[in-house]
Amino acid sequence: MAKGPRSGHRLAVVGSGSWGTCYAKVLADAGNEVVLWARRPEVAQEINQARRNSEYLPGVNLPRGLRASTDLAEALRGAEHVYLAVPSQSLRENLASIAAQLGPSTVLVSLMKGVERRTNLRMSQVIAQATSVPAERIAVVSGPNLAPEIAKEQPTASVASCVRAETAEAVARASRTPYFGTFINTDVTGTEFGGVLKNLIALAIGIVDGVGHGENTKAAIITRGLLEMTDFAVAFGAEPTTLQGLAGLGDLVATCESPLSRNNTAGRLLGQGFALREVVARMNQTAEGITSIEPVLALARSRGVRMPIVEQVAMVLRGTLKPAQLAPHLATEDGAPEHENVGTAGLLARLWRRGRRS
């Protein structure tokens, strides 16, 4: 059984961007000894000497329980949990080096919200495939987690998920602080897809914001977008209630409403008329929604799930739809029942009818 780290236990975080650094701070503030692996020596040096990562978390003081290293083997040595916070498309290549450093009981925790382009796999699936670590030792953390706010210790909550509840609880205990609460579930599929899919809806919100549309338009997209997210996730075995919680609705609201969101920012630039290549060049960090949208649509087609809003965002990215033409009312035909074929209500109604017949 995985045990939650106590004060003085070693944890490692791989990736020194804004979210990796922020989560390392959370873990250190929770009383753990944390080593953060940084690819660039100057980043590690600033963290260790100035207690800052000014490029990604300007103005934030980092705790003394956190130190950085550019030596991956040193960072992982003795770590009970390894938290992964690298761009989703580079995860597999990073795992090739990480796997050899893992102990027989090490828990791997994904902090990432993406789908691998080549395989259409979720991050936990990539971890399992590339490391042969069993699902009972792979967890994911997701929720309304905007790194600059959390790093300033503004209160929020998240979800730790693993197929083994004891592992999820261990991960949750490792990161609980007065400003960061962590709940648990065993619905890894729903928790991961919530984090992936909300990025796509956030792109749509950014696009219409950049075009100049108002709150009515954005509210319609968020509402219809949540139904698309739920329909998709349930088709792959997720629990619909997961999408109504922190990993779904909570993350969706935070990402769609905040200018701190990279996906919202990327969408807004697209709505203002910048080409995709210009948007990517302007972004300081990866907007995961851009790299996840095609794999998500391929998965949706494989299960016969309609995702009109996400498809329109993909058309904007491809340059085949003008941003001003992205329309939330196209998510369903005019006059159709609001929950027809999609969403939690429709799913529950179908399950109820099926139960009545059996």
Return mean pLDDT, the chain. Answer: 89
Model confidence over 145-157: pLDDT tens digits? 999 999 999 999 9
* DSSP structural state of residue 326: -
Of 101-115, 167-181, 257-271, 273-287, the one with minimum mean pLDDT is 273-287
Model confidence over 104-116: pLDDT tens digits? 999 999 999 999 9
- Which one is predicted more confidently, 6 or 110? 110
At 153 the pLDDT is 98
DSSP 167-216: HHHHHHHHH-BTTEEEEEES-HHHHHHHHHHHHHHHHHHHHHHHHT--HH
190-357 homologous superfamily:
N-(1-d-carboxylethyl)-l-norvaline Dehydrogenase; domain 2 (1.10.1040.10)
Catalytic choice (113, 198, 218, 322):
198
Model confidence over 161-182: pLDDT tens digits? 999 999 999 999 999 999 999 9
Q: Which segments of the chain belong to CATH 1.10.1040.10?
A: 190-357
pLDDT, mean of residues 288-315: 93
pLDDT at 356 over 80: no
At 336 the pLDDT is 54
At 342 the pLDDT is 43
Is 322 a known active-site residue? no
Model confidence over 13-66: pLDDT tens digits? 999 999 999 999 999 999 999 999 999 999 999 999 999 999 999 999 999 999
Q: Are 81 and 26 in contact (CB under 8 A)?
A: no
pLDDT at 292 over 80: yes
Q: Give the whole-angstrom CA distance, residue 193 versus residue 123.
A: 10
Residue 161 token pair: 């998920």
pLDDT at 348 over 50: no
Q: Give the whole-angstrom CA distance, residue 135 versus residue 82.
A: 14
pLDDT at 357 over 50: no
pLDDT at 329 over 90: no
pLDDT at 272 over 70: yes
Q: Which segments of the chain belong to CATH 3.40.50.720?
A: 10-186
pLDDT at 210 over 90: yes
Model confidence over 72-92: pLDDT tens digits? 999 999 999 999 999 999 999
Q: Which fold has domain 10-186?
A: Rossmann fold (3.40.50)
pLDDT at 184 over 70: yes
Question: Quick one: which H or E segment has residue 140?
Answer: strand 138-142
